Amino acid sequence: MCVEDPCENGGICVTLEDTYKCECPHHFRGKHCEQEIQSCRSALCKNGADCVDAGNGDFECVCREGFHGDLCEDDVDECASQPCRNDGVCINQVNRFTCECNEKYYGVFCQKSVQSCKSSPCMHGKCVDEGESFNCICEKGYKGVLCEVDIDECANHPCYNGGACIDKIGNFECRCPEYASGSVCELLDSNPDISHHQVLPGSVIAAVSGAGAVLLLIVGVIIAFFLDRKRKDTWNTEHTRSRHTDAPRSKSRNPFYFYKQMGRQSEDTQKLLSRFE
């Protein structure tokens, strides 16, 4: 296309893919460099642009919003960035755009769904439309994206002193044993040694009871060991004496007979010994 040399006034023709372009010398404008620039008197700026005299017969166009180019001749395509969502159609306008939305969406960018809360997706809560999505504000006692999960208020074991926790909607109930009372079984009614304001969890009571039982068992074993040892020592002593005397041996062979003769045992010891006679 540059064979015919279409550029005037010393312009240089540049061949493009399917057209050409004239690179004009200073002081000339236009497609073919046919317009001589005479500062802003020629009023070459387009689309309401302001012309600024740059001196030496040159000028500059200050474009309004929505236009660009040396002479502000080109409209800026606000739809080039594809601002409309959800298959909305973008309509380019001067310095602005509009989106034509389909029937399922609305909003400046077609970003809001008209179906978000219409299907009542929240099982135990209030639905709030947030444009492309929705949010469920759950009722007390529920959680989850759709408020579908019942919160287990018994998960933290709130009941004390062996109380049984009953989970309810947004609340719980403690069923206390006979010796406890209060909303969480925190009051012990039948134990005068424990303050009514002292809170003892069931696990603590079980641990104390178990430790007490083990301690009593150990004490019992120790007492039985020493009683048996003393019984054997007494029997051996009396058996040795019986070899040198003619005393009746019927009672001397009974080791508990000598215990009863000692006269110093306590009443509890006598009761224990009586079980073996």
Angle of the 255-262 helix axis to the 267-274 helix axis, nearest 10: 160
Q: In the predicted model, is pLDDT for residue 240 greater than 80?
A: no
Q: In the predicted model, is pLDDT for residue 164 greater than 90?
A: yes
Q: In the predicted model, is pLDDT for residue 227 greater than 80?
A: yes
> Picking from 9-13, 118-122, 165-169, which range would have the lowest pLDDT averaged per residue?
118-122
Q: What's the one-letter identity of residue 35?
A: Q
d(CA 171, CA 150): 11
Whole-structure pTM value: 0.32
d(CA 65, CA 97): 13
d(CA 21, CA 239): 139
d(CA 185, CA 261): 55
d(CA 225, CA 169): 59
Q: In the predicted model, is pLDDT for residue 2 greater than 70?
A: yes
pLDDT band at residue 259, thresholds of 50, 70 and 90? Answer: very low
Q: Is 194 helix (H, G, I), strand (E, B) or coil?
A: coil
Q: In the predicted model, is pLDDT for residue 163 greater than 80?
A: yes
Q: Which of 250, 217, 219, 255 is nearest to 237 (CA)?
A: 255
User: Each residue of 45-82: pLDDT tens digit?
Assistant: 888 888 887 766 677 888 988 888 888 888 888 898 89
Q: What are phi and psi of 210, to 5 degrees?
A: -65, -40
What is the predicted pLDDT for the residue at 103?
79
> Picking from 172-176, 259-263, 267-271, which range would have the lowest pLDDT averaged per residue?
259-263
User: Each residue of 99-136: pLDDT tens digit?
Assistant: 999 877 878 898 877 777 877 889 999 998 876 678 89
Q: In the predicted model, is pLDDT for residue 195 greater than 60?
A: no
Contacts of 22 (CB under 8 A, 6+ apart): 6, 7, 8, 11, 12, 13, 14, 30, 31, 32, 33
More confident residue, 39 or 262: 39
Domains of the chain: 2-75 (2.10.25.10), 164-200 (2.10.25), 219-274 (no CATH)
What is the predicted pLDDT for the residue at 151?
93
d(CA 97, CA 111): 15
Strands (DSSP E) contained in the chain are: 12-15, 20-23, 28-29, 35-36, 50-55, 58-62, 67-68, 74-75, 89-93, 96-100, 105-106, 112-113, 125-129, 134-138, 142-143, 149-150, 164-168, 171-175, 180-181, 187-188
What is the predicted pLDDT for the residue at 252?
44
Rounded to a whole number, what is the distance in angstroms from the first to the last CA of the chain? 137
> Picking from 179-188, 195-204, 227-236, which range would have the lowest pLDDT averaged per residue?
195-204
Cα of 192 vs its chain's centroid, Å: 45
More confident residue, 181 or 1: 181
